[in-house]
Amino acid sequence: MLIDFLRVDIFGGELGEFTKENITEDNLTEIYNLAQKHDLAHVVADILFKTKLMPEVSISESYRAALLIALARYQRLSFELEKVCNLLEENGIPHMPLKGSVIRKYYTEPWLRTSGDIDILVKPEDLEKAGNLIINEFNYIKSGVSSHDWCLFTEDRIIVELHYSLIEQGNVQGRKRHKWYCQCLENIWDNLIWLRTSNINTL
């Protein structure tokens, strides 16, 4: 049933008859608990409310809350992403959003693809300049530097990661096993296609 809900909400189509016939409070509770573990309860909620198949049961409030939280999180992350990207662009710093902020445009609704943080790629030589610029302009807090990124926090604890490498230090063995893959990532700035989505550059 969970897979059926996800299929219909992301790809369209109709729910199967088995799913429709088994929308009970017990089943919805089990589905909610499973979906929450994968941050997907809001997707199930979306199709249940859109198709008016959500029964008047207590678990419906949990689904509604998951839906509203996903929408709010999407708005907050989108606002911060555009703010940071605009600042980098205004200061002539090449950058590329990564992961969820790029993938979500391929979903039927962008907020269906949730993200726990904001990931932006910058050139290694621009890392310190970009990080300090963001910190000074928006009062972000620098959390730490790893082998591949700077981790920053907004004032309301949204995580912004400035990636300067797409290969983590711990993946040395993987680098040997998948030489072609790692060569592409190591030379990522030579392998980019620039597109324009709203005011944000993307891969």
> Between the CA atoms of 186, 191, 195 and 198, what dihedral angle is there, to the nearest 10 degrees?
10
Asked if pLDDT for residue 184 goes beyond 70, the answer is no
Can you give the length of the chain in residues? 203
Fold adopted by 77-202 = Beta Polymerase; domain 2 (3.30.460)
Asked if pLDDT for residue 201 goes beyond 70, the answer is no
For the chain, the domains span 2-57, 77-202
* Per-residue pLDDT reduced to its tens digit, 51-103: 999 999 999 999 999 999 999 999 999 999 999 999 999 999 999 999 889 89
Asked if pLDDT for residue 117 goes beyond 70, the answer is yes
Please choose, from the candidates 17, 31, 18, the residue with its C-alpha nearest in 3D space to the C-alpha of residue 59: 31
The sheet with strand 141-145 has its strands ordered as 95-97, 117-122, 159-163, 149-153, 141-145
Task: Tell me the pTM.
Answer: 0.80
Please choose, from the candidates 140, 145, 136, 146, the residue with its C-alpha nearest in 3D space to the C-alpha of residue 158: 140
Asked if pLDDT for residue 20 goes beyond 80, the answer is yes
* 152 confidence band (pLDDT: 50, 70, 90): very high
Task: For 147, list phi and psi in degrees, rounded to 5.
Answer: -70, -10
Residue partners of 187: CB distance under 8 A and separation at least 6: none
The chain-wide mean pLDDT, for the chain, equals 87
SS3 of residue 103 by DSSP: helix
Q: What distance in Å separates the CA atoms of residue 48 and residue 63, rounded to the nearest whole number?
A: 9
- Residues in a beta bridge with 181: none
The single-letter code of the amino acid at 162 is: L
